[in-house]
Structure 1
Amino acid sequence: MGVAMLMSKTIGTLQKIPLQNVAGDRVFGIYNAVYPLYQLLLVMVTAGFPVAVSLVVAEHEAVGERSEARHVLRASILLLAGSGIAGFALLWFGAGRVALWIGDPSTGRAIQAAALALWFMPVMAALRGYYQGRGQMLPSAVSQLTEQLVRVTAMLTLLWIGWQYGWSDASLAAGATSGSAFGGAAGLAVMLVHGLRERRAGDNGGETESASKRELTGMLVKDKEEEGLERANWLNHKGVQRREKQWSGRGTKSILKQVRRLAALAIPITLGALAVPALSVVDAFTVPRLLRGAGMNEIEAMSLFGIYGRGLTLVQLVVMVAGAIGGALVPALATARTRGDVAAMRQQATIGMRAAWAIGAAASIGLVLLAEPINVMLYADNEGSRTFALVGWTGLAGTVNAIAAAMLQGLGKVRAPALFMLAAAVLKAALNAALVPAFGTAGAACAGIAALAAAALLSAAAVRRAAGAAMPARGAAGIALALAAMAAALALAERGAAALLGPVLPPRAEAAALALGGVALGGAVFAAAALRFGGISARELRALPGGEAIAARLRKWRLLPSGGD
């Protein structure tokens, strides 16, 4: 599931690059304005329910109540299908009004196209939760990957067809957003096929079970004859008890009660998941309108919004990787909390938060220094490179937020990250209103830096209070030196490479060489310098899962100093 989720999110993030390359900045802007709204509604409808369904199903499966588990599935499908239809109606019939709120009527068709996915995604979420509760992770993993691959394939196919036949920007954007419906249908089909196969296998298994029961009945009859009526009565009594226990749960809970229980479990998780798309929706509803208020027409405003979204794609990728790192540290942190091991909690949280600041700072510095070559490599021109660099700074705060949120979950503080991010969304809206009219998308980028930084500082402080995590002075100094070494290496390498490659390579190839070479060089220099300067010690490495082998190998390569313990 973890691998499938990482691959799925990577595909979903990187698919924006060919979208902009094929359709241009205005279509890219429309997509970036509409998709967060659809994502927010989808999160409201589905986010917490797979977890809630899996928990309740697992409880019934643990005591052999298979019929009650199926009852939970029926209740969840009823609830989520109804929510999906309501969400579809809201977007489909309200598309015109929402488009006016965004500030560009041409987004209406894309909003309606995105709404089609709500016929499929909620039911798929219910089925995923059901099979996860039964311990079957493979169907969900295959469904996730199938959904993303089909979504991206459909999007690119429709873009190609539209480009060939001269579709308008509004139609191209609608074709791009309709990929979600194709992906949702494919993902749901995977789950339904798995369910059909399982039912067929269950029918065959039922025949085998019946034969076994007949054989057992014959054995019991023989026991009656050989060991007497008293033992036969005792066996029969035990069988009746087992049957009563197995079927006692039937009919005790109505669908309405199941729905209420699922909602109670899902709502806290949903609130946490709403935080991230809320920031994107704030931009979608404020930035295009504020740009138009500053004197731009619809086409100019949405094109500029598309250019603003270029850097966000890379930042989202960085934050996704950070979230995976944080998730890997959660089990050890939760185990330490359960055991009451305060020292282990402090050590795990300290290492996690140090990694957050270090990785986030390195990623942000890399995005800022390499903004122009990355922009040209991915999007074919250097439009908005200054804004790209400003957006790159949000990688630091985004990384800290992602890892701190995982830490707080492991520490049992599940609501704090959601509250911090929702507060950041309110601050982002206020800062957009103050900065965008004067500074355009650069103002929106600065608003994002400030809002996310506020949430990051609150999250880091919450981790420190909950676990006593603090960065040692030596570790902080080591990371600072490593960042300085990385920045110096990138600046020198970029100047030298530009002088050597500029005369012999076309602009986009030169940009690709600079960007990819800079990422590799910067990452290697930062990692080596952080280890050599004491950013993390061998003792701290060994405290991580698998850290003993990592520390030994790094010591062998002379990347850890001899006094690193």
Structure 2
Amino acid sequence: MNKKSFVRGAAILGIAGILVQVMGAIFRIPLANIIGDQGMGYYQTVYPIYVLLLIFSTNGAPTAISKMVSERLALGKLKEAHRVFRLSFILMLVIGVLAFLVFFYGAKQIVTALGNPGAYYAMIAISPALLFVPLMSVYRGYFQGHQSMGPTAVSQLTEQAIRVVAGLTFAVLLLDKGLTYAAAGATIGTSVGPIAGVIILIIIYYRRREGLHEKLRSSRHEPMESAGSILAKLASVAVPVTVGVSIMPIMNLVDVTIIMRRLQYAGFTHQQANALYGQLSGMAGPVINIPMAMALSVALSLVPAIAAANSVKDQDFLDTNIRLGFRTAMIIGIPCTFGLMSLAGPIMQLFYPMQADSAANAAPCLFILSTGIIFLSLAQTMVGILQGLGRPYVAVVSLGTGVLVNAVLTYVLTGIRALNVQGAAIATVAGLIVVGIMNFGLVKATTGTKYDLKLSVVRPLISGIVMTVFVLVVYYSLKPVIGNSLATALSILVGGGVYVIMLLKTKSIAANEIKLLPKGENLIGLLQKMKLI
């Protein structure tokens, strides 16, 4: 595979991944306006289960399958490459059927154990997704192993688009029946989306199957690796990769098992506890997903560059990419943290105008969660580096530690009535700090890379502080005149512009790095005319 085609494939997956993440975050904002905090409490009780499987089908299993397929194709073992596909399909089909049966027939027991029996219909509605999501991973991995990234991107976008449209439509249609049914309607979209994604992939596969089978028929006889060995290798790659990029989903899954019961222990009724949980996970949470998507795109784009440098033992190129990844994580994380903290209340009112009281109550959760974005960005970037170094499994240790810290603190703090779900937000941030610092330490211990903290941290920090001052001045100057929504939107735009200018003025971004961007030469010329560089 030549460099050009590799970069093109990486770009296709990167762009599709960002669009999918943003669409998913945007979906839950109108949904929360439709079904409110109580409805989002029911929805969020079951959604983390789907997200974890989705990440497995998007990152973990396809990465493992594509790696195994491409290795065999490179050695001319066409039949064994196809055998990897067939065995993976059988394994994922079994996993999907078991997941469907467990969550469909055990729905009542599961939601009762989670302390939120009102989520029963939502759990039933999401169970078909658990059957089809694993199957998507097989086709995606197989196509990626053949260096064909288009099918994955098309299926991701199709799945998410249908999920958004169907979910919002069914939520509105079932709203008159009550919030438990409306939440189930939203999760129907979550099941319909993967079905559409699988259908798209099957159509593409059958269109290409004849040419594939012709190659298989003409290939020479070759010794076959045992099924057990293939499946063991699949798991050894898929599991750590999935876990490594599942920081927030795994923490959210842990929260589901703890928060509802601890809120009721603190003296809240079931209905109050469900509403509080909806404010945290269904209203504040989606806002955090947007910067998380940007950080994840950085992490994924780092993998091939780090892997290439590591494979040829080019330490200078490796150090350069690691330092650039770290600086990019800070450049993304700092403004997101400062911006969301400074405008937590106004942003919640902007996003959820139909649920004003719930949005106001959720604002402190967003403020707290925002403080963890820097560490989330750092953690995910370092995971991408560890994957590129061929050591994704070491990130499992740091994630496990962070999840344990999050679980213990969530249990303790959420049970304090005065803190309630704000205690869970504090616990999440503490977990992210642990994971971010540990992953940073693991990369440093593995590579010995030295960082310029003045360039990577201090200068972006100064830029973020100046940005925050402008944001607050613009917002509080304009709000009495044009209202919250316009004042918030304009202050965000001004803040973004000021931050970019400060990055250039403090030389946090160099001219040669700007050239690497699309239309970089033109951008350099424009910035020079504006005397920004």
Q: Same fold (TM over 0.5)?
A: yes
Partner SS for 2:392: coil
Whether 1:362 aligns to 2:335 is yes
Give the match for residue 3 of structure 2: none
Rounded Cα–Cα distance in structure 2 between residues aligned with 1:412 and 1:125: 21
Q: Deviations over 1:363-387 (max 9, x none)?
A: 1110011112211111112332222
Give the match for residue 454 of structure 1: 434
CA contact (8 A) 1:475 1:534 kept: no
CA contact (8 A) 2:245 2:380 kept: no
Partner SS for 1:468: coil
Partner SS for 1:24: helix
Rounded Cα–Cα distance in structure 2 between residues aligned with 1:47 and 1:327: 9
Is there any run of 5+ residues in structure 1 with no aligned partner, and where?
A: 210-241, 502-509, 561-565
Rounded Cα–Cα distance in structure 1 between residues aligned with 2:518 and 2:318: 14
Q: Deviations over 1:312-358 (max 9, x none)?
A: 21111101111212333443333333343333333332232123223
Is there any run of 5+ residues in structure 2 with no aligned partner, and where?
A: 1-12
Give the match for residue 114 of structure 2: 102
Whether 1:5 aligns to 2:29 is no
The alpha-carbon deviation at position 103 of structure 1 amounts to 0.9
CA contact (8 A) 1:349 1:467 kept: no
Choose from 373, 377, 380 the match for 1:395: 373
Give the match for residue 263 of structure 1: 235
Choose from 110, 134, 158 the match for 1:122: 134
Moved more, 428-437 or 377-386: 377-386
Partner SS for 1:120: helix
The alpha-carbon deviation at position 426 of structure 1 amounts to 0.8
Choose from 466, 469, 473 the match for 2:450: 469
Judging changes above 3 Å, is the alpha-carbon distance between structure 1 residues 351 and 75 closer, same or farther for their aligned structure 2 residues? closer
Partner SS for 2:450: coil
Give the match for residue 4 of structure 2: none
Partner SS for 1:534: coil
Whether 1:277 aligns to 2:287 is no
The alpha-carbon deviation at position 274 of structure 1 amounts to 4.6
- Counterparts of 1:341-490 in structure 2, within 5 Å, are 341-380=314-353, 381=356, 382-438=360-416, 439-465=419-445, 466-473=447-454, 476-490=457-471
Q: Deviations over 1:403-457 (max 9, x none)?
A: 2222233344322333212211110111112211221111111112222112112
Judging changes above 3 Å, is the alpha-carbon distance between structure 1 residues 442 and 71 closer, same or farther for their aligned structure 2 residues? same
- Counterparts of 1:60-75 in structure 2, within 5 Å, are 60-75=72-87
Moved more, 490-499 or 385-394: 385-394
Rounded Cα–Cα distance in structure 1 between residues aligned with 2:79 and 2:305: 35
Rounded Cα–Cα distance in structure 2 between residues aligned with 1:269 and 1:328: 15
Give the match for residue 222 of structure 1: none
CA contact (8 A) 2:53 2:134 kept: no
Rounded Cα–Cα distance in structure 1 between residues aligned with 2:79 and 2:324: 46
Rounded Cα–Cα distance in structure 2 between residues aligned with 1:387 and 1:330: 33
Judging changes above 3 Å, is the alpha-carbon distance between structure 1 residues 281 and 357 closer, same or farther for their aligned structure 2 residues? same
Please, what TM-score do these two structures have when normalized by structure 1?
A: 0.84
Moved more, 482-491 or 414-423: 414-423
CA RMSD of aligned residues (A): 2.7
Whether 1:500 aligns to 2:481 is yes
Partner SS for 2:415: helix
Rounded Cα–Cα distance in structure 2 between residues aligned with 1:518 and 1:475: 25
Q: What letter is aligned with 1:383?
A: N
The alpha-carbon deviation at position 83 of structure 1 amounts to 0.8
Q: What letter is aligned with 1:11?
A: M
Give the match for residue 505 of structure 1: none
Judging changes above 3 Å, is the alpha-carbon distance between structure 1 residues 12 and 157 closer, same or farther for their aligned structure 2 residues? same
The alpha-carbon deviation at position 173 of structure 1 amounts to 1.4
Judging changes above 3 Å, is the alpha-carbon distance between structure 1 residues 446 and 2 closer, same or farther for their aligned structure 2 residues? same
Structure with greater Cα Rg: 1
Q: Deviations over 1:217-255 (max 9, x none)?
A: xxxxxxxxxxxxxxxxxxxxxxxxx99x933226x3454
Give the match for residue 218 of structure 1: none
Judging changes above 3 Å, is the alpha-carbon distance between structure 1 residues 120 and 470 closer, same or farther for their aligned structure 2 residues? same
Q: Deviations over 1:453-508 (max 9, x none)?
A: 1211222223333242323436544323212211111111111111221xxxxxxx
Q: Deviations over 1:270-318 (max 9, x none)?
A: 3424543210011111111111111111111111111112222111110
The alpha-carbon deviation at position 268 of structure 1 amounts to 3.0
Choose from 186, 201, 219 the match for 2:196: 186
The alpha-carbon deviation at position 44 of structure 1 amounts to 6.1
Moved more, 45-54 or 28-37: 45-54
Judging changes above 3 Å, is the alpha-carbon distance between structure 1 residues 547 and 353 closer, same or farther for their aligned structure 2 residues? farther
Q: What letter is aligned with 1:123?
A: L
Rounded Cα–Cα distance in structure 1 between residues aligned with 2:320 and 2:207: 47
Judging changes above 3 Å, is the alpha-carbon distance between structure 1 residues 57 and 350 closer, same or farther for their aligned structure 2 residues? closer
The alpha-carbon deviation at position 548 of structure 1 amounts to 7.4
Choose from 137, 140, 143 the match for 1:131: 143
Give the match for residue 91 of structure 1: 103
Judging changes above 3 Å, is the alpha-carbon distance between structure 1 residues 464 and 541 closer, same or farther for their aligned structure 2 residues? farther
Choose from 72, 77, 84 the match for 2:89: 77
- Counterparts of 1:12-51 in structure 2, within 5 Å, are 12-41=24-53, 48-51=60-63
Rounded Cα–Cα distance in structure 2 between residues aligned with 1:328 and 1:386: 33
Partner SS for 2:219: helix
Q: What letter is aligned with 1:183?
A: G
CA contact (8 A) 1:400 1:456 kept: yes
Q: What letter is aligned with 2:263?
A: L
Count of residues paired in the alignment: 512
Q: What letter is aligned with 2:378?
A: V
